[in-house]
Structure 1
């Protein structure tokens, strides 16, 4: 920053010098042109008619050169100098070159003579350069002082930044406390506020991950212990019937553990940055719901549950087809699992007046108490009266994560039609493409 500021000061001084030189040159041109014009008019008719010749002076330099010609071309007057003005004068102002010099000439014609006044343009450039240098010279003298001042100001302003950097370097990996912003410059306050907000989000995500790992370890302990007991029971079985029962229970335990591991992976995958970074695609939600109902029909038949689709509008949403399939499948699994044998599960997909789509799944099961409907979305939480039913408490947590990722909403209600639980998932429709 210091180097860039000093370079900026130098460039500014250079630009100011060039501007001052051009301005001074323009002004000197106007002044000298006016002097040449006045000199020519003052010499008009004042040197005689072809009778006087002034000899050249030796070793003498003049800013202005004057030459007077008669009408017939005879030299009437010529000031000392080696430059000879052209006899064929171009009236008014003109410029000519001789050797490495360039002259500006003003020519005036009278009834009896032609007056020419010339000046070397180097005189004007030299005077403009002197004026420009006088403008830049104070800046050149002040440049070291400005450099020290810039260094002091920048170093003083960035001292809080160095302090914050040192604090961050000394922090541990688990220290996510906000950084104090008491003496930081106002320019850095928005950056620090955003950084502290990021620390808060990281802390929340870290805490959620720790809770998930702790809950997962607790939930895995029970099925693994049950598997070990069933394996021991299988080894202690004395007859074929006992061995068959032990094998059956071991298989059921393996199924429960596999289901728990699958749901944990689904939840972790849904919350991962990679899943959130996937580009959404067009998904036919109606076809996806019908396929999920067909897949769940075998489980419903085994429990003598009437599973059907009451209404299914053509619906197209933007999202991830695999995630939406997991959403519908988990809702159907929960409805079938918690509905008593001989019960009923209805599925409908309708378009709402605002253009969104509502997926409704109603069952004739026991439902969920109103004071527990918010908590059942927490991982591994199972409501009262459901502890005897096989499950891990991850189904609704996965569903909520998928709904939020798709910009939708989910509600748990009491089903007016069947008396059990009514789940309402609202997903936004695809906005029309502008023509």
Structure 2
């Protein structure tokens, strides 16, 4: 057996109780402050509103895409109209190559509804025919050209035959107006469909966000002590992880809330008798002022009572804190070296063991070349082992022995505490981890909370507890087995 040579026993910092909300009356609903609903509504559509940002980005994207496509369609329609009008001029010129049809009417230039003009010239430059009183230039460039005459610009197509030259002209202003009319007709569907598309997008976004709004209303209607999980049916996949984390938070808050209620109930139940006894001892102490010996004995008894009460309060606070931390997630865990935890816990209890002349130490059943680490919280595991050692030292007679061992078995980290005390009867073993349970034959004073704290911490770390009779020392043997997933 090896004995620790580490520092003196250290005292753990006083645990603080988990804070929880003030319990509300059953069935009582939380009343919203005046204007609260309006504030929530204003917030939901404020600058940070997801609905508003989605609508803004999507609708702006639709508008930009529509404008870009409309401009492209408009310019394409203009080009197509120009090509169509040019083709019309060519066809008309070719139809007049054989001469002017009989009965072709003379069209006055004041007839603004007619934008095509015809001139035919002979080889000698004689004008054979014209459709207006204002003649076009007689020697136009063959093919297409833009000319200015009579204060107007014209698109002219000239075609020369062996006997004549045919000129077909179109007023560019009228041509442009007609081309724009055709282009606007091509753009008109975009102007009609864009508002419908924007309305459809608005409806789809509102419908997609409706489950989130339902969840918000459900939370707003809840009572202060309602920590039931929030339903995630119908929620988008992007929001469901948030609701899952929120439900985990509800579980942790519920654990803290229950721990606070248990602490209040336990304190009211367990402190009544010690405080009554302290009051009686204080009254008796006043009556012994004239007897120094009796007075000194009364002071000693009062101090012992105060120590027991302080220890009880510490245990109650510690139990409340550990129960409140039961719902903590794995993110709060760390890699803990169990060998270091064992050395610290043994150092904590060593003065108490020395007072009873108990042989307390670390018994290495198997030499460990490497550290045994588990995933958890180092301070909580130290409290677990310290309570086991404190319990073993308390019930082991003076001059007895308490051993601690740490080993790896079947991929599990196994922490064992054995003592040479009287052990625990088989009938009492299922109940020793209950709060305030003390065996009937126990002669030692205690609160009955030490092993309850051990159970809470073990459950929190996914560890199992096993009680048996120690084969080597004859007393109680407690095995704490950490699961394979937790052992590193």
Coarse TM-score class (shorter-chain normalised): 0.5 to 0.7
Quick one: distance in 2 between partners of 1:97 and 1:431?
94
8 A Cα contact 2:141 2:158, kept in partner:
no
Match in the other structure for 1:262: 314
Paired with 1:325 and 1:97, the residues of 2 have a C-alpha distance of: 101
Root-mean-square deviation (CA), in Å?
A: 5.8
| Partner in structure 1 of residue 462 of structure 2 | 408
Q: Does 1:305 align with 2:349?
A: no
The whole-number CA distance in structure 2 between the counterparts of 1:412 and 1:307 is: 21
Alpha-carbon contact 2:227-2:253 (below 8 Å) kept: no
Determine the structure 1 residue equivalent to 2:414.
358
| Alignment pair present for 1:339 and 2:389 | no
> Within 5 A, what are the aligned runs for 1:86-235?
120-133=175-188, 136=191, 173=224, 176=226, 187=234, 206-235=257-286
Deviation at 1:378, TM superposition (A): 3.5
Q: Which runs of 5 or more residues in structure 1 are unaligned? A: none
CA deviations over 1:229-287 (Å, ceiling 9, x no partner): 22233233353432332222222111111111222222233344699589544443312
1:390 maps to 2:445? yes
Looking at structure 1, the residues matched to 154 and 188 of structure 2 have their Cα atoms a distance apart, in angstroms, of 24
The question of whether the paired residues in 2 share the 8 Å contact of 1:413 and 1:422 is answered with yes
Which residue pairs with 2:477 in the alignment?
A: 422
The CA deviation at 1:30 is: 4.0
Please report the TM-score for the alignment, with normalisation by the length of structure 2.
Answer: 0.60
The question of whether the paired residues in 2 share the 8 Å contact of 1:21 and 1:128 is answered with: no
Give me the whole-angstrom Cα distance separating, in 1, the residues matched to 2:270 and 2:339: 35
CA contact (8 A) 1:47 1:77 kept: no
Q: Distance in 1 between matches of 2:63 and 2:264?
A: 65
Q: CA deviation at 1:219?
A: 0.9
Q: Structure 1: how far apart are the matches of 2:479 and 2:60? A: 67
Task: Using the TM superposition, name which of 392-401 and 232-241 deviates more.
Answer: 232-241
Measured at CA, do residues 45 and 179 of structure 1 come closer, stay the same or move farther in structure 2, by a change above 3 Å? closer
Using the TM superposition, give the Cα deviation of residue 308 of structure 1 relative to its aligned residue in structure 2, in angstroms.
Answer: 1.9
Q: CA offsets, 1:188-223, max 9 Å, x none?
A: 7999x9899987886676455323311221111122
> C-alpha distance in 2, partners of 1:68/1:361?
122
Measure the CA separation in 1 of the matches of 2:96 and 2:377.
101
In 2, distance between residues paired with 1:30 and 1:38? 12
| Offset of residue 348 of structure 1 | 0.9
TM-score normalized with structure 1 length: 0.66
Partner of 2:385: 328
Equivalent residues of 1:17, 1:132 under 8 A apart? no
More helix by share: 1
Question: C-alpha displacement at 1:333, in angstroms?
Answer: 0.3
Distance in 2 (alpha carbons) for counterparts of 1:207 and 1:262: 18
Query: Do the aligned partners of residues 111 and 309 (structure 1) sit closer, same or farther apart at CA in structure 2, a change above 3 Å counting?
Result: farther
Unpaired segments of 5 or more residues in structure 2?
Answer: 1-43, 46-50, 100-105
Matches within 5 A, 1:368-379: 368-369=424-425, 372-379=428-435
Distance 1:431 1:66, change over 3 A: farther
Deviations 1:40-63 (A, max 9, x none): 2563484589xxxx9993462667
Equivalent pairs, count: 399
Q: Secondary structure at the match of 2:432?
A: helix
Cα drift, residue 403 of structure 1: 3.1
State the Cα distance separating 1:78 from its structure 2 match: 9.5
- 1: CA distance between counterparts of 2:136 and 2:247? 79
1-side partners of 2:277 and 2:179: how far apart?
104
